[in-house]
């Protein structure tokens, strides 16, 4: 078997997208899709030609079988994806929002199969997954359960000890945490175990108590992180770190925003893929802005994630709406 370029861990969910506008309780028809921040990133990187390993657990139910088939079709390495007959697959409902607004979403993930992951599910350090070039983590996995939290930190320690690169996107989900304090302390601890941190501006302000992107970046750089990319919404991204001139990379205008969910995951795909391609951090942030801009022009979380040929196309015409790169799935 092949050593993956990237390994990630998380909860893949079945997604039901409303076919008509309005509050979710009034919607009569939904279309099925997929969701999960780590899944979105894994799919995006796979479409760009990287070998991506996914660590997770799905219920042995129809949503779980649907997700596994989707992931296999996207050529993800599923050697560490478990099918659990005891617990269900997570589910997400998403509103059809108008005029580019952030849609209402509802999660049904308590007691899911993915929440039962633990450090026992960690690949050995000398295994193919343990030797991946890059480990990508988010702040969602440690919010799911104590076992998931232990797994995320163990994976980060193992990767750093083996000289691998760790990227981290906070992906704050306050409803999954027992308290705001626990969320901030845990997410920051995991961020400071990473090499590359990708917070949104609002997330960074909450996590660091710093108001400006330079202060947010400095907070993490002073704690051992090598590179920081702060998503600035319509303004693009602020980059800082080793071997890069700190400053803003401009955002990308789009003709029309259809669905903002998944923009931040597309941004992460752009940054990670560019760094793996050997580009510098400013070029990586520019690719992140371009992919995020493409993602918001499609309804589903993964539908707008490009292949290499699509990546080379101009992402948008100038002078139109700019999108919010903080929005996540």
CA Rg value for the chain: 18
Q: Which residue in 311, 317, 261, 318 sits closest to 291, CA to CA?
A: 311
Q: Which spans in the chain are helix H? A: 37-47, 62-73, 141-144, 146-161, 180-191, 201-208, 213-221, 263-276, 281-295, 308-311
Q: Cα dist. 27→15, 24, 90, 94, 142 in Å?
A: 15, 5, 20, 10, 32
pLDDT of residue 99: 67
Is 186 strand, coil or helix?
helix
Q: Give residue 44's Cα distance to chain centre.
A: 10
Instruction: Please confirm, yes or no, whether 5 is among the known catalytic residues.
Output: no
- Written as six digits, the tokens of 100 are 């580019």
Q: Could you list the pLDDT tens digit for every one of the 329 residues in the chain?
A: 799 999 999 999 999 989 998 889 999 999 999 999 999 999 999 999 999 999 999 999 999 999 999 999 999 999 999 999 999 999 999 898 776 677 888 999 999 999 999 999 999 999 999 999 999 999 999 999 999 999 999 999 999 999 999 999 999 999 999 999 999 999 999 999 999 999 999 999 999 999 999 999 999 999 999 999 999 977 899 999 988 999 999 988 887 777 667 788 999 999 999 999 999 999 999 999 999 988 888 776 788 899 999 888 744 433 333 444 444 44
Residues 128, 169, 195, 265: which is the catalytic one?
265
Q: Give residue 138's Cα distance to chain centre.
A: 6
Whole-model pTM above 0.75? yes
């Amino acid at each position: 078997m092949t050593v993956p370029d990237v390994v990630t861990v998380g909860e893949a969910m079945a997604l039901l997208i409303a076919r008509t506008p309005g509050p979710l309780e009034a919607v009569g028809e939904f279309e099925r899709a997929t969701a999960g921040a780590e899944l979105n990133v894994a799919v995006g990187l796979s479409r760009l030609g990287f070998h991506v390993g996914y660590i997770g657990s799905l219920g042995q139910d129809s949503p779980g079988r649907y997700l596994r088939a989707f992931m296999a079709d996207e050529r993800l390495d599923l050697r560490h994806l478990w099918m659990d007959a005891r617990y269900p697959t997570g589910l997400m409902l998403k509103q059809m929002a108008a005029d580019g607004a952030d849609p209402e979403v509802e999660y049904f993930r308590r007691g899911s199969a993915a929440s039962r992951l633990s450090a026992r599910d960690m690949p050995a350090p000398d295994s193919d997954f343990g030797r991946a070039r890059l480990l990508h983590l988010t702040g969602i996995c440690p919010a799911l359960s104590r076992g998931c939290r232990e797994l995320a930190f163990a994976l980060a320690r193992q990767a750093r000890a083996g000289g691998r690169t760790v990227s981290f996107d906070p992906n704050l989900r306050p409803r999954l945490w027992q308290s705001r304090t626990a969320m901030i302390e845990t997410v920051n601890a995991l961020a400071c175990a990473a090499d590359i941190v990708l917070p949104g501006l609002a997330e960074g302000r909450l996590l660091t108590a710093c108001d400006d992107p330079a202060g947010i970046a400095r907070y993490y750089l002073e704690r051992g992180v090598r590179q920081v990319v702060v998503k600035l919404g319509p303004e693009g991204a602020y980059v800082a770190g080793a071997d890069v001139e700190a400053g803003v990379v401009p955002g990308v205008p789009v003709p029309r925003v259809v669905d903002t969910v998944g923009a931040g995951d597309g941004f992460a795909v752009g940054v990670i893929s560019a760094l793996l391609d050997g580009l510098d951090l400013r070029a990586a942030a520019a690719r992140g802005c371009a992919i995020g801009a493409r993602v918001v022009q499609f309804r589903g979380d993964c539908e707008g994630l490009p292949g290499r040929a699509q990546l080379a196309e101009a992402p948008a015409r100038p002078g139109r709406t700019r999108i919010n790169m903080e929005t996540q799935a």
